[in-house]
Chain A
Amino acid sequence: MSATRAPRGRIRLSGPDAGAFLLLALLSVMTIYPLFWLLLNSLKSSNDLFEQSWALPRTWHWENYPHAWRFGLGHFMANSVLITTVSVTGIVLLSALAAFVLVTRRFRFRGALHAAILGGLIVPPEVSLFPLFKIMLVLGIYNTYFAMILPDIAYGLPFTVLLLRAYMTLIPAEIAEAATIDGAGLLRCFWSIYLPLARPALAAAALVQGMRVWNEFVFALTFVGSNSLRPLTVGLTTFGDSLNTNWPVLLAGLVISIVPVITAFLLMQRQFMGGLTTGALK
């Protein structure tokens, strides 16, 4: 991105520069070491962990991983994959359609409806948990996948509409006009022109929302009661209880659950950062 900016030479280890480098090195150790510790101790026996958690395993207990998997982790992971896939597809498609009409069509109440969508940015789900719980009961979807998927989608929409709308305003309006003259309807213009053109933004949005839904905890904690429906985030907490402090196996479970996120992040870093910095919200 900024190849010309940093000097080509070696690190100049003198004075304040050396201080800054040491600070960064120390901070990155503080950040990374707990994750490394997690990996290391997931391969130990329980006793080994208690006696010397900082050291390398005395014997390497690779079987902690299949053990964790068999303990129900595989099922939690399947739930996470299902919930994330459906939610992200829903968020991206619905947001893209909304962003598309907001950008290309002129209609009455456009400004007000746009504001109603953006207003959702300042509604945190945390303040609505009990009412949502009641709504789930009334809709008859408490303790189903929908009790997680529908709020997951709803709370992802405002940010995604913002992101996709910002991108679609960059697409020249003449393209949509030309298509309309050619007789393409709203849906066709959306599906075969705007959607393909907005692909980079769609990918960024899918990544950001994918991470959010994969890591979602509060809805799954509150709107679902059976273990068979739980995603990894909540499953891991019950997993910890039932393992009876067999910590290395629990740690193996934690490692398994973060592998997909870290892989996705490292592979698609650039799109991910691009998606985050458009709207900058956590």
Chain B
Amino acid sequence: MGGLTRKHHRLAAALGPYVALAPVLGLLSVFLYLPLIFDVIYSTHEWSSLSPTWRYVGLGNFQGLLADPLFWQSLRGNILYAAVSLVFQVAFALMLAAILESGLLRIRWSGFFRIAFFLPSIMPITVIGLLWQILYQPDVGLIDQALKAVGLGAYAHAWLGEEATVLPAIIAVSQWQWTGYLTVLFIVAIRGIPRELYEAAEIDGARAWRKFWHITVPGVSETTVLMTLITIFGAIKVFDIVWVMTAGGPNNASDVLGSYMYRSAFRDDRVGYASAIAVVMFVLCSIVGGLQLRWSQRRSL
């Protein structure tokens, strides 16, 4: 009897790992990797899903992008989003984390601030979007009312209704939402720095700023690189906050690549063109994300 069962067992043991990985690999293939292949195929075609047009155009859609002012304007939106986010969510968040961990505050206060700053990052994007739409309302919204209350009524705006203010206003909401999240990640990194370094510096009489600059900043440099990459990655793919707040308007003034792509695909029915934008987004993402993966791999060695 033994022979067959043993063979059977050995076969099962050999196949086991593949069977165990199959659901994960299957789901990733169908919902992560297959769409990327479709993106590339669609992007080389002129196609709208309503009409039967399906015409190979090679790199035509990409040439179209290069000549499309709205594409460049959207890309500028992503770049502005990235730049502001780097200032607040990396540089400023690191400083905040250093202050919270400096021992300046009692534990209870530092815990309170940490939670307070973190809270917006766990809120659904529609709640954030709808809330800030109301806060940004001209006249009745909190922002304009606060400006008037302190005598700065001249600076009141229809923040989301004016082309000059709409993108900065949306970017500001993202800073409000995410700075605390990155602060917490920096706090974890700072806790990994050996205490002795700070103690030695204190014996030498170093001031807070010197300790920050000479111990904290070098001590968390790996995390800083990672956060920088994550922030840029997030700025390339940003879509939901823009879509919820303005859908790219007014007059495309708040468009980023993600909103321009979504509108092209689902509203203007220019699927090939939208897929070309998606390919550009993915290439940018994979450059930044690839660096990120390599960096974290190196760190874990």
Interface residues of A (CB under 8 A from B): 1-3, 5-8, 10-12, 16-17, 20-21, 23-24, 27-28, 30-32, 34-35, 37-38, 49-50, 53-54, 94-95, 97-98, 100-102, 105, 107, 110, 113, 116-124, 126-135, 150-151, 153-155, 157-158, 161, 166, 185-186, 190, 211, 214-215, 217-218, 221-222, 232-234, 236-237, 240, 247, 250-251, 254, 257-258, 261-262, 265-266, 269, 273, 276-277, 279-282
Contact of A94 among B27, B109, B279, B300 (CB under 8 A): B27
B145 at interface by CB-CB < 8 Å? yes
Give complex CA distance A1, B181 in Å.
19
Question: Which residues on A sit within 8 Å (CB–CB) of B42?
Answer: 130-131
Contact of A217 among B33, B120, B124, B149 (CB under 8 A): B124
Task: Name A272's closest neighbour in chain B (CB-CB).
Answer: B122
Assess the A121–B289 pair: CB atoms within 8 A. yes
Question: Which residues on B sit within 8 Å (CB–CB) of A158?
Answer: 28
A163, chain B: closest CB distance, angstroms: 12
Question: Which residues on A sit within 8 Å (CB–CB) of B38?
Answer: 128, 130-131, 134-135
Assess the B122–A122 pair: CB atoms within 8 A. no
Question: Which residues on B sit within 8 Å (CB–CB) of A269?
Answer: 115
Task: Name A98's closest neighbour in chain B (CB-CB).
Answer: B24
Assess the B28–A117 pair: CB atoms within 8 A. yes
Given contacts A128-B278, A130-B275, A131-B39, is CB(A27)–CB(B117) below 8 Å?
yes
Beyond contacts A5-B103, A130-B271, A237-B244: 12 other A-B pairs, Cβ-Cβ < 8 A, are A6-B105, A94-B24, A101-B17, A118-B293, A121-B292, A122-B288, A123-B36, A126-B258, A127-B285, A130-B42, A150-B27, A254-B131
B166 at interface by CB-CB < 8 Å? no
Give complex CA distance A185, B14 in Å.
12
Task: Name A211's closest neighbour in chain B (CB-CB).
Answer: B122
Question: Which residues on A sit within 8 Å (CB–CB) of B271?
Answer: 130
Assess the A107–B17 pair: CB atoms within 8 A. yes
Question: Which residues on A sit within 8 Å (CB–CB) of B14?
Answer: 107
B173, chain A: closest CB distance, angstroms: 10
Report the interface size for chain B: residues with CB under 8 A from the other chain.
Answer: 101
Task: Name B14's closest neighbour in chain A (CB-CB).
Answer: A107
Give complex CA distance A129, B258 in Å.
10
Assess the B292–A122 pair: CB atoms within 8 A. yes
Give complex CA distance A117, B123 in Å.
28
Question: Which residues on B sit within 8 Å (CB–CB) of A135?
Answer: 30-31, 34-35, 38
Assess the B16–A161 pair: CB atoms within 8 A. no
Task: Name B280's closest neighbour in chain A (CB-CB).
Answer: A127
A258, chain B: closest CB distance, angstroms: 6
Question: Which residues on B sit within 8 Å (CB–CB) of A221?
Answer: 243
Contact of A120 among B18, B32, B120, B292 (CB under 8 A): B32
B237 at interface by CB-CB < 8 Å? yes
Give complex CA distance A204, B181 in Å.
16
B113 at interface by CB-CB < 8 Å? yes
Task: Name A106's closest neighbour in chain B (CB-CB).
Answer: B17
Give complex CA distance A137, B125 in Å.
26
Inter-chain residue pair count (beta carbon < 8 A): 276
Assess the B191–A2 pair: CB atoms within 8 A. yes
B83 at interface by CB-CB < 8 Å? no
Assess the B185–A281 pair: CB atoms within 8 A. no
Interface residues of B (CB under 8 A from A): 12-14, 16-18, 20-21, 23-25, 27-28, 30-36, 38-39, 42, 96, 99-107, 109-110, 112-113, 115-117, 119-120, 122-127, 130-132, 134-135, 140-142, 145-146, 149, 176, 178, 180-181, 184-185, 188, 191, 195, 208, 223, 226-227, 230, 233-234, 237, 239-240, 243-244, 258, 261-262, 265-266, 271, 274-275, 278-279, 281-282, 285-286, 288-290, 292-293, 296, 300
Question: Which residues on B sit within 8 Å (CB–CB) of A277?
Answer: 184-185, 188
Give complex CA distance A153, B181 in Å.
23
Assess the A130–B142 pair: CB atoms within 8 A. no
Assess the B278–A280 pair: CB atoms within 8 A. no
Question: Which residues on A sit within 8 Å (CB–CB) of B17?
Answer: 101, 105, 107, 110, 186
Assess the B124–A281 pair: CB atoms within 8 A. no
Assess the B142–A126 pair: CB atoms within 8 A. no
Greatest chain A CB density within 10 A among B110, B176, B239 is at B239
Give complex CA distance A79, B234 in Å.
28
Give complex CA distance A107, B14 in Å.
8
Task: Name A279's closest neighbour in chain B (CB-CB).
Answer: B296
Greatest chain A CB density within 10 A among B110, B122, B141, B237 is at B122
Question: Which residues on A sit within 8 Å (CB–CB) of B32?
Answer: 120, 123, 128, 154-155
Contact of A233 among B113, B122, B124, B286 (CB under 8 A): B124
B259, chain A: closest CB distance, angstroms: 10
Task: Name B23's closest neighbour in chain A (CB-CB).
Answer: A94
